[in-house]
Structure 1
Amino acid sequence: MTATNEESQARQPTIISFVKDLPNVCSLAGLACTLLAIYFSIIGVFYAAMIGMIWAVAFDWADGLVARKMKGRTGSDRIFGGQLDLLIDIVSYGVTPAIVLLSFSDFNPVMLPAAFVVVAASAIRLSYFSTFGLSDESKYTGLALDNNSIALVFVFLSESVLPAGVFAFVLCTCALGLAVLNVSQIKTPKLSGNPRNVCFLAGYTLIITALYLWKLL
């Protein structure tokens, strides 16, 4: 090994060192909420799953807000944080809604194609964004994935007033419709970058949490 290689490795940060970066802490907190959402979906406590899903969005928005406010972050911090965010997004906004669909149908294999479409659309959407970023108008191409959870936790409020079969159809249709919008060519604004939208999401998260906690009682 040459001296240059040894110096390069000595300067390379450890993997775990990125965990102390506050935006990454927010991202991992969102991942924890996603894990809870998956767990509660599998055991059939869907109201608790909805709380986990909306808090995952809140922490996802928080990591970007914190990252923009912080000073002194290195290029490696930003690159690592961006990659971590993308990987967590596929779990939060692709895998989790798919598990909700499967679990609500008692894991009926008939629902597998719909679940696959949801996950595949999320993967394609994130890969496209990772390659091309925002459009020239500083907008997303395709509906951003965080909107999926924001919409689905609202739709799920009707679960208690609709027959189970009807609601399963509504939930599946909404999830597939969002998946189509995710990979469409529509231009949508970057909602998480606007302080007013952040305040709206904070209020929405608290209201949704209160409603589902009330339903759990």
Structure 2
Amino acid sequence: MTTTTEDVHTLQPAILSYVKDLPNLCSLAGLACTLSAIYFCIIGVYEAAMIGMIWAVAFDWADGLVARRMKGRTGNDRIFGGQLDLVIDIVSYGVTPAILLLSYGRFDPVFLPAAFIVIAASAIRLSYFSTYGLSDQSRYTGLAMDNNNIALVFIFLLEGVIPREIFAVLFYVSAVGLAVLNVSQIKTPKLSGNPRNVFLLAFYTLGITSIYSWKLL
């Protein structure tokens, strides 16, 4: 029995049918936070950008937590969700920090190499993870990408405390250092799967949000 082109199209679900999947909605909410962070980076409202960046991590962790607790998800649901998550991660943890770096450097060309390193490392890191997965059941090879945002929003608390020229160098070095760790051979724990770490991230997210909201006033 042959399968016609019409049959194949009938078997494939509609693209937007995956949007109603709750973990994917969490992923898209994280993407919305990332878009707001990019916007505020470009216009120079860095406090608001930091809030968007940390909430992107919170929603990223939430999608995995929800997906693990949901019943009835098919193999295709999991595959689609995993691919969506990877694509969003490149934007959230690669493109956004690179734009932040360029913006804070007033788009001086000297910041372009660092921005490229950050984006390239994220693409390489996530492609490697997509190919090989975890190095064992609980550890990654290389620093997981979500740690970039977690670290950068904390480092950015020093902005305004130390002179801008010194902080720009510190931030440049920090961003490149994190990119190097992303593609290194170090083994790091999978933090997002631990309920205790989820609680700590929630506390951290609310704390960071409060601090930067106060700085916005």
Give the TM-score normalised by structure 2: 0.98
Equivalent residue of 1:76, what SS? Answer: helix
Give, in whole Å, the separation in 1 of the partners of 2:3 and 2:154.
58
Paired amino acid for 1:129: F
Matches within 5 A, 1:191-202: 191-202=191-202
Q: Which amino acid in the other structure matches residue 155 of structure 1?
A: I
Q: Which runs of 5+ in 2 are unaligned?
A: none
The equivalent residue for 2:123 is: 123
Alpha-carbon displacement from aligned partner over 1:21-57 (angstroms, at most 9, x marks no partner): 0000000000000000000000000000000000000
CA distance in 2, matches of 1:52, 1:175: 18
C-alpha displacement of 1:138: 3.0
Tell me which residue corresponds to 2:183.
183
- Following superposition, the deviation at residue 3 of structure 1 comes to 4.5
Match of 1:210 in 2: 210
Match of 1:52?
52
Residue identity in the other structure for 1:9: H
Aligned-residue offset at 1:6: 2.9
What is the distance in 2 between the residues matched to 1:54 and 1:101? 16
Describe how 1:105-116 pairs up with structure 2 within 5 A: 105-116=105-116
1:163 corresponds to 2:163: yes
Superposition pairs for residues 32-43 of structure 1, below 5 Å? 32-43=32-43
Letter paired with 1:157: L
Deviation, structure 1 residue 136: 2.7
Does structure 1 residue 173 correspond to structure 2 residue 173? yes
Alignment-mate amino acid for residue 81 of structure 1: G
Gap regions ≥5 residues in structure 1 = none
Cα drift, residue 11 of structure 1: 1.8
Residue 27 (structure 2) aligns with: 27
Match of 2:74 in 1: 74
Q: CA RMSD in A?
A: 0.9
Aligned to 2:96: 96
Q: CA deviation at 1:9?
A: 1.9
What SS does the corresponding residue of 1:67 show, helix, strand or coil?
A: helix
State the secondary structure of the residue aligned to 1:188. Answer: strand
Residue 85 of structure 2: aligned partner: 85
TM-aligned CA deviation for residue 4 of structure 1: 4.6
The letter of the residue matching 2:58 is A
Q: How much does 1:5 deviate?
A: 4.0
Moved runs in structure 1, 4+ residues, more than 6 A? none
What aligned pairs does 1:144-163 form with structure 2 within 5 A after superposition? 144-163=144-163
Q: Which residue of 2 aligns with 1:139?
A: 139
**How far did 1:137 drift?**
5.0
Matched residues in 2 for 1:59 and 1:136: separation? 24
Which position in structure 2 is the counterpart of 1:15?
15
Q: CA deviation at 1:160?
A: 1.6
Number of residue-to-residue matches in the alignment: 216
Which whole-Å CA distance do the structure 1 matches of 2:31 and 2:137 have between them? Answer: 30
What SS does the aligned partner of 1:140 have? strand
Deviation at 1:207, TM superposition (A): 0.2
Identity %: 76
